[in-house]
Structure 1
Amino acid sequence: MKFQLKNILAVLAIAITMFSCSNDDNEAITGEGNLKLEFDNTYKTADFAMNTNYTNSNAEVVAVSKAMYIVSNIVLTKEDGTTFTYPKSQSYFIVDEATPATLVLNLSNIPAGNYTKVKYGIGVDKTQWEAGATGQGDFLAKAQTAGMMWSWSAGYKFVAFEGTFTSSTVSTAKQFKVHTGQTGTDYNYTEVTLDFPKIALVRTTITPQVHIMADLSQLIDGANKISLSEAATVMGGAKLALVTANVSSMFTIDHVHND
């Protein structure tokens, strides 16, 4: 009889605990919270460092002095499939390797929930650009100051990847520039969708940090190989389309912190 009573008490204790946890979970997913997207640039498997020599698959030795890209139009997906679109007026960021503070995007006022993926653009979408200079808000001035525009009529630079290189045919360091953006009839804006390796728990008391790895080598050494020895400046034409196609493969998520 004592054994049965102990079992009953144990079952009741577990039930009460589960009920309590369930109530806590329900309370925790109300309100709003924040989420951080951290961009960690690499060069292949190496932690990226400016003005450091890296060798690409074309046997060119590359030293990068500028690595910048625009992240925009962020959309978060919950585990139930519903989405939250970050306000467009706040959804344009310049990630600049030379400015550490820009590597973490602080997103605020996000509905509390369990999030499983993120989608974002690289560049400024055409609809936004077509809103005209007065429709850009503060971002136009930021892009101009950062050197992420050619001119208003030419539009934004979506990616700016610059430095010097040498090769078997180029013995003295030569400057290279790879810029993506609007060229002629091609707009070259692209979107990236990444699944989280574990759920990001946005709560009023929890701010998840999503650690995104950005392999800069993919720009010229991804599925499409760009020989800088053949063209040290890539800002248009067929090669730019190849660079743009490489962009989406740059990004992977390493981990998610829920603390």
Structure 2
Amino acid sequence: MKVFFKNMAVVMTMALTLLSCSNDDANSNVSGEGTLKLEFDNVYKTADLAMNTAYTNSNGEVVKVSKLKYIISNIKLTKEDGTVFTYPKSQSYFIVDELTPASLLLNLTNVPAGNYTKVTFGIGVDQDQFNLGATGQGDFLTQAQNAGMMWSWSAGYKFVAFEGTFTAPTVSSDTSFMVHTGQTGTDYNYATVTLNFPSNALVRTNITPQVHIMADASQLIDGTNTISLTAANGMGMGAMIMGGSNLALITANLANMFEVEHVHND
């Protein structure tokens, strides 16, 4: 019996030591700065998004996507104590393009070490930034122009570009569609998204967390608000949604387009 209790004591001591080491590892180097990566993984409902592949929406329309691009901006990271780190605004504009794999991974450098629980970002270019004029946009204006994410300077940025073809019960041949969000008239249509992390992102000088964000393209027109491409199809030009009441509904859908699937702390 004495041997049993002696062995139990050894096991408990080892367990406490391991727990202590684990806690030390989790809380070591909580000073200085590190890097955090945001990985955007575009999907269509439960399937990985593949270009020119047929997906059926709730309207019975068969959609084939050929383009998906969106602007991520004004990134903020919240720590478990509630403090917020705002990524430098001059560095906080990114174009995510499904056809450009390198663009799907955003590297946020010089992030203060800490345990982060959520991320907030915008979809598009905020109005304050746009109001700085063309000269105030820095290199991002040229980047957006080269990526086709501008209508023109006077018309402004395209916040989301979602394009492809569709068929429907009353549309038998592949018909083009274009969904572009951005400023229209007095409506700016900029959206802000906040996502909670399922586990903390541990930014350290020696740990670079990678936050895996699923972006469901189906939510753009088949989310809380359902938009009919068939109804938008007209005059032999396909379904062109770049303004009108549908654009506000699509902008509202953006809140449910993104979800954090997991966090790697490597």
Which category describes the TM-score, using the shorter chain as reference length?
A: over 0.9
The question of whether the paired residues in 1 share the 8 Å contact of 2:37 and 2:209 is answered with yes
Matched to 1:253, the amino acid is V
- Alignment partner, residue 145 of structure 1: 146
- Alignment partner, residue 220 of structure 1: 221
- Alignment partner, residue 79 of structure 2: 78
**Unmatched 5+ stretches in structure 2:** 233-238
1:169 Cα deviation from its structure 2 partner: 1.1
Secondary structure of the residue aligned to 2:171 is coil
Alignment of 1:49-128 (within 5 A): 49-128=50-129
Secondary structure of the residue aligned to 1:147 is coil
- Alignment partner, residue 235 of structure 2: none
Distance (Å, rounded) in 2 between the aligned partners of 1:172 and 1:5: 79
Given the alignment, which residue of 224, 234, 247 partners 2:241?
234
Quick one: structure 1 residues 125 and 4, their matched pair in 2 at CA, closer, same or farther if it must change by over 3 Å? same
Quick one: structure 1 residues 239 and 13, their matched pair in 2 at CA, closer, same or farther if it must change by over 3 Å? closer
1:147 Cα deviation from its structure 2 partner: 0.1
Quick one: structure 1 residues 247 and 9, their matched pair in 2 at CA, closer, same or farther if it must change by over 3 Å? closer
1:192 Cα deviation from its structure 2 partner: 0.4
Distance (Å, rounded) in 1 between the aligned partners of 2:9 and 2:176: 77
Aligned residues: 259
- Give TM-score scaled by structure 2 length: 0.91
Percent identity between matched residues is 68
Superposed CA RMSD in Å reads: 2.2
**Unmatched 5+ stretches in structure 1:** none
- Alignment partner, residue 132 of structure 1: 133
Distance (Å, rounded) in 1 between the aligned partners of 2:87 and 2:254: 22
- Alignment partner, residue 244 of structure 1: 251
- Alignment partner, residue 182 of structure 1: 183
Distance (Å, rounded) in 2 between the aligned partners of 1:68 and 1:38: 14
1:16 Cα deviation from its structure 2 partner: 7.6
Deviations 1:95-141 (A, max 9, x none): 00000100010110000000000000000000000011111111000
Secondary structure of the residue aligned to 1:128 is helix
